[in-house]
Structure 1
Amino acid sequence: MFEALGHIPAGEIRRRQDAVRHHLADVAPEAGGILVFSRLNIYYLTGTLGQGVLWLPLDSAPVLLVRKGLDRARLESPLEHIHSYKSYSQMPGLCADAGSPLPHTVAVVMAGLSWQLGQLLERKLADRKFVPGDHAVALAKMIKSEWELDILRTCGKLHHEALCEMLPGMLHPGMTEREISHKSWEVFFAKGHQGMLRMQAHGEECFLGHVSAGDSGNYPSSFNGPLGLRGEHPAVPFMGHAAKVWQPKEPLMLDIGFQIDGYQTDKTQAYWSGPESSIPDEVRRAHEFCVEMQNRTAEHAKPGVTPAELYAYCIEQARKRGFAEGFMGLGDNKVPFIGHGIGLTVDEFPPLAAGFDMPLQEGMALALEPKQGIPGVGMVGVENTYEVTASGARCISGDRYEMICV
């Protein structure tokens, strides 16, 4: 009677499952497979946002067990073995019946389970040994297929059109951050944004993004990013504040993600309320420095180069050229990275930060976000989404990096 609204190709699903199996051999070599509980990772590996658990064995067919939505899962996923279950105690029998029994040692994506449910799993399957397997999935998701990159390229194109072509004509000094937020939503939905932004870090949330006028760019933030914001309310510290007005001769930073088909691009666009001639030299130089760091990082983000090398160069340049104080945030807002992986979540592996020495590979998607906080003024800078190619990282979210004067 019903048809699925879309499918991830079966070959793409198999590629992802095989990538997880490959990385599991290094991450948890003693494990005979991996249990995945997080709904987004279940989607990545099955094609359906299942509420339940996926058993992905090393050498036999995967088994998806769902608590709710069995019919939808069977519509959307190419997996052969999709069954309902009520209790973790049923898992060994259901997996064995499908020809994929649970071995003694099982890897688990532990970030997808609460402590309460993790303890319950250990009690129900007391004869099994559970080991961490999260990194195997993170490494698989790190490299995008051409199928995924096509979605991200479309997403980035629409993202650029929304922030750089459509929105500027709808903005003017005197608007509140909340009014700017609503105009942004209007434009984004008109361009096909599907309304979700997802984070993978435990407890991290995101709604639309950051809308920061003037000194809001340095307002104390609990979000793991350099751009401060007042947000809606202490209980909803996202988007923009109804009482903060964008004044003449102030920067406005819109750090807003775009999402289609589950995939996100990240982009920050800086605006200035006034003619270009009214931009102070301090603000202009800071923004130009951030653009330079973005472009230099992209040029050198080639296979074989490490995230730590890219980060170290930017930090050293900020120190040498007098930007160290506000680079990547002022005070407690400062963050120890200049970018991050991106895909089904905004904050994928790897961060571009010290200590991350796994070389970049072709097919990675990265958000590069050099930003500069200026005391008493706000924040300026850029962020764009890139795909790593053999000759460097290519921007897929537009080619305008200057402050747009309104």
Structure 2
Amino acid sequence: MTTPFPADVYAARLSRARTLTADAGLDGIVVGAGPDLAYLVGVEGDTIERLTALVIPAAGEPTVVVPRMELAKVRDTAVGSLGLAIADWVDGEDPYALVEDALGFAPARFGVSDVLPALHVIPLADRLGVPVLATPALREIRMIKDDAEIAELRRAGEAIDAVHRRVPGLLRAGHTEREVGEDIAAAILEEGHRTVEFVIVASGPNGADPHHEVSDRVIQDRDIVVVDIGGAVPAGYNSDSTRTYVVGEPDPEAARRIAVLVAAQQAAVDAVRPGVTAEQVDAAARDVLAAAGLGEAFLHRTGHGIGISTHEEPYIAPGNALPLREGMAFSIEPGIYFPGAWGARIEDIVVVTADGCVNLNTTPHGLTPAGA
């Protein structure tokens, strides 16, 4: 395993995490395997029954607790290049005692990352007391992307745009959603992603389900088709872009409504700038749709943050009064859905700049013709 960024990038992240831990009133945090661990030290993978964790005291140096069988893999990351302390263990030993040792004392208040399962949280609680979520500290550091992260998100955006440019040639009447989805998944890898995170090909009435994936439904002439796709580029940063296609000639009323959706999506993009709240960006899209009588057809939030996770903070949703800041990256993806008939969604990833935002997706936003 190799890390996508130099060691000093990870050192700065760890230093910031320690500061935010103290600012949150925590004596330390325990970060389990998952996106936060990958962000902080470049160790990838999901939580398993054997504990792997980064222990960050508010005062003191971090320690990585890791099963000995995973030691070589962990050393081949920023953990090794930074010379972080490692506490390894084998089956039959107590890894939770190593966490306590790494913290240096039984803390009055400690946090755990939100992906750490009860399998590990409960033994920690038995030894150290009931933890709180470390999310306030960890989300703060991950929400603001640095220049290197923005470059990777831009690379991901360019790669998924290249896939969307291929979709009209793949999307044809007589093919099933599943067949088209398989072709798109292959294109995602061919265009520079290392993984395919999701492929939605939602044709005709299936488009009215925002989280439809693929089915054996045969795509028909005049179908409106929602194609929502994404993957991770080699550095682990994600793409996510949705376009709405039509096979053949569209129904005029559907085309009119989708034009309103395009305007709503652009209104939300135009609203993005530092100091504007997440809920105000959501309202910018929602108000355009409501004014056209389509407000009830918009079933979900306007967007979600993106980085090493496809969905992360900040969430662009009603009730979220979080002010936007330069460096935040998130989707703008309003949709309209008509059960039993069709649906549509338009999605871009944007990054907040000093005076607005930059859009990382540039393929056409309107109803796009595909092969009949």
Deviation of 1:193 (Å): 1.7
Is the contact between residue 105 and residue 131 of structure 1 (CA under 8 Å) also seen in structure 2? no
**Residue 309 of structure 1 aligns with which residue?**
280
Is the contact between residue 188 and residue 196 of structure 2 (CA under 8 Å) also seen in structure 1? no
**Residue 272 of structure 1 aligns with which residue?**
246
Secondary structure in 2 aligned to 1:111? Answer: coil
Are residues 1:355 and 2:319 paired? yes
Deviation of 1:94 (Å): 4.8
Deviation of 1:373 (Å): 1.2
**Residue 331 of structure 1 aligns with which residue?**
none
1:82 to 64, 81, 86: 86
**Residue 219 of structure 2 aligns with which residue?**
246
2-structure distance, mates of 1:342, 1:280: 34
Q: Which amino acid aligns with 1:84?
A: D
Q: TM-score, normalised by structure 1?
A: 0.83
Deviation of 1:360 (Å): 0.3
Q: Deviations over 1:319-342 (max 9, x none)?
A: 222111212xxxxxx22x111111
**Residue 117 of structure 1 aligns with which residue?**
120
> Does 53-62 or 302-311 show the bigger shift?
53-62
Are residues 1:132 and 2:106 paired? no
1:293 to 264, 284, 291: 264
Q: Deviations over 1:343-402 (max 9, x none)?
A: 111111111112211210111111110111134431113011111112212111224112
Residues 1:266 and 1:389: Cα distance change in structure 2 (over 3 Å): same
**Residue 217 of structure 1 aligns with which residue?**
207
**Residue 228 of structure 2 aligns with which residue?**
255
Q: How does 1:3-402 map to 2 (within 5 A)?
A: 4-26=1-23, 28-29=24-25, 31-49=26-44, 52-67=52-67, 68-77=69-78, 78-80=81-83, 81-85=85-89, 86-92=93-99, 94-95=101-102, 101-102=104-105, 104-123=107-126, 125-126=127-128, 128=129, 130-164=131-165, 166-197=166-197, 208-219=198-209, 227-229=210-212, 239-242=213-216, 244-260=217-233, 261-274=235-248, 278-327=249-298, 334-335=299-300, 337-402=301-366
Is the contact between residue 302 and residue 332 of structure 2 (CA under 8 Å) also seen in structure 1? yes
Name structure 2 gaps, 5 residues minimum. Answer: 46-50
Residues 1:71 and 1:254: Cα distance change in structure 2 (over 3 Å): same
Q: How many residues align?
A: 357
Deviation of 1:22 (Å): 3.5
Residues 1:180 and 1:301: Cα distance change in structure 2 (over 3 Å): same
Is the contact between residue 88 and residue 121 of structure 1 (CA under 8 Å) also seen in structure 2? no
2-structure distance, mates of 1:69, 1:248: 53
2-structure distance, mates of 1:177, 1:396: 27
Deviation of 1:89 (Å): 3.8
Residues 1:102 and 1:54: Cα distance change in structure 2 (over 3 Å): farther
How many percent identity over aligned positions? 26
Q: Which amino acid aligns with 1:151?
A: E
Is the contact between residue 271 and residue 404 of structure 1 (CA under 8 Å) also seen in structure 2? yes
Q: Deviations over 1:268-314 (max 9, x none)?
A: 0111100xxx2223211221222212212112210100001112233
RMSD of equivalent CA atoms? 2.0
Is the contact between residue 196 and residue 230 of structure 2 (CA under 8 Å) also seen in structure 1? no
Superposition misfits of 4+ residues, deviation over 3 angstroms: 4-7
Name structure 1 gaps, 5 residues minimum. Answer: 198-207, 220-226, 230-238, 328-333
> Does 366-375 or 244-253 show the bigger shift?
366-375
Is the contact between residue 264 and residue 286 of structure 2 (CA under 8 Å) also seen in structure 1? no
Deviation of 1:120 (Å): 1.5
Is the contact between residue 34 and residue 106 of structure 1 (CA under 8 Å) also seen in structure 2? no
Deviation of 1:39 (Å): 2.5
1-structure distance, mates of 2:239, 2:336: 21
2-structure distance, mates of 1:312, 1:13: 36
Deviation of 1:317 (Å): 2.7
**Residue 48 of structure 2 aligns with which residue?**
none
Is the contact between residue 283 and residue 380 of structure 1 (CA under 8 Å) also seen in structure 2? no
**Residue 202 of structure 1 aligns with which residue?**
none
Deviation of 1:251 (Å): 0.7
Is the contact between residue 265 and residue 397 of structure 1 (CA under 8 Å) also seen in structure 2? no
Q: Which amino acid aligns with 1:349?
A: E
